[in-house]
Amino acid sequence: MSFRLGLTGSIGMGKSTTAQMFVDEGCALWDADAAVHRLYAAGGAAVAPLGALFPEAVTGGDVSREALKRIITADPSALKRIEAVVHPLVAEDRAGFIATSTAEIVILDIPLLFEGGGRGVDATVVVTAPPEVQRARVLARGTMSEAQFEMILAKQMPDAEKRARADYVVLTDTMENARAQVREIVNDIKEKIKNA
């Protein structure tokens, strides 16, 4: 059985880059966002049940995230019904990945890990960066306004609280520093597995 390390971090902290560093160290990676994309794609397990609930959410065989956003904006209670369909399918996808993985360490990239209760992992790692670095990274993408960034930030658990809850923290101030911390974490976990 693989060691399950839950990876999380707020927007703009460098989570995707850090996840790839764990892969470079020989870990297997399961990505919650990628799982949702698979479930929403044509033929995905979420298409039929979401289409039954909200026919306007399915276009060209895919679930449209934009349509779901419009539905939730018009009726905030719709979110609970969507989650009731999607969350069990995501959990099933994750369980299947873990069951078939041969890697010693499996990284479970879950953006809302702590917000969702943080269950099903052996340890957690939070990716962090100074607030000004986080803001600059997000705004440099050119995909959202400062107001949108603030709105997302307000919905996420504060970075300090995530760090306080985490078993490990990776500071992504420089690539070299982040990579060194990832290597240390992998070595620490391998040592724990060996001595278990």
In CATH, which of 1.10.10.10, 3.40.50.300, 3.40.250.10, 3.90.550.10 is domain 1-27+103-188? 3.40.50.300
Residue 153 clears pLDDT 90, i.e. is over it: no
Q: Which amino acid does the sequence have at 68?
A: L
As a whole number of angstroms, the distance between CA 96 and CA 90 comes to 10
Digit-coded pLDDT (tens) for 73-99: 899 899 999 999 999 999 999 999 999
Q: The domain 28-100 belongs to what CATH superfamily? A: P-loop containing nucleotide triphosphate hydrolases (3.40.50.300)
What is the model's pLDDT at position 115?
Answer: 83
Residue whose pair of structure tokens reads 């960066």 in the numeric block: 129
For residue 194, which phi and psi values (nearest 5 degrees)? -60, -40
Give the CA-trace dihedral at 128, 129, 135, 139, to 10 degrees: -80
Residues 6+ apart with CB under 8 A from 5: 22, 27, 105, 106, 107, 108, 121, 122, 123, 124, 125, 168, 185, 189
Domain with CATH 3.40.50.300 in the chain: 1-27+103-188, 28-100
pLDDT of residue 116: 79
The pLDDT score that the predictor gives to residue 135 is 93
pLDDT digits (tens, 9 = 90+) for 98-124: 999 999 999 999 988 998 777 789 999
* CB atoms inside a 10 Å sphere around CB 69: 11
